[in-house]
Amino acid sequence: MTSTVYTTIESPLGELLLVGEASATAPGGTALCSLSMTGQRRAPTVQPDWRADPAAFTHIAEQLRRYFAGDLKDFAVEFRTQGTDFQERVWQAIDTIPYGATTSYGRLAEQLGLARPAVRAVGTAIGANPLLILRPCHRVIGANGSLTGYAGGLECKEYLLAREGAWPAAVG
């Protein structure tokens, strides 16, 4: 039997696919490995050895419901991602962008102590983020304050930023 479980939930952005693994330390008992949207670039697809288990995601689904209702700003979810060391470093940096704030790709690279030419690599790592919404890559915008790149589509990025009161806004 597989240790990977999944479910889908409805959201204001459409159907979300949640993929996780059992964890003795995670609130609700499931560590989240992926959260993706319908139509998302490079989104995972349900694999034959995954097991559908909506109950495993009750805690996470409730937090997402509260986030979309405007009642939750910080998620209490255990993540299990498998990026490169560089990707994990970038993803941890985007975890520090507060709710309702934005930053630019350049500022994020600077925060990581990277030279200006690394901005493209930072953008590529952000584009590979497997945990949309929860790991807030939507809060990274262009240096001129424009919406740029989002695996779930710019309409979803704009919705999420507006939901958080950060759009339209200047780079924070």
Kindly give the residue spans of alpha helices, DSSP state H, lying in the chain: 58-69, 85-94, 105-111, 119-127, 154-163
Nearest to 126 by CA among 141, 113, 111: 141
Q: Specify the DSSP class assigned to residue 88.
A: H
- Planar angle of CA 49, 3, 68, nearest 5 degrees: 95
Find the catalytic residue in 134, 137, 141, 166: 137
Peptide linkage before 130 cis (omega within 30 of 0): no
How would you label 145-168 residue by residue, b for 16+ Cβ within 10 Å and e otherwise?
Answer: eebebbbbbeebbebbbebbebbe
Alpha carbons 86 and 121: distance in angstroms, whole number = 9
Active site residue 33: no
Task: Supply the residues annotated as catalytic.
Answer: 137
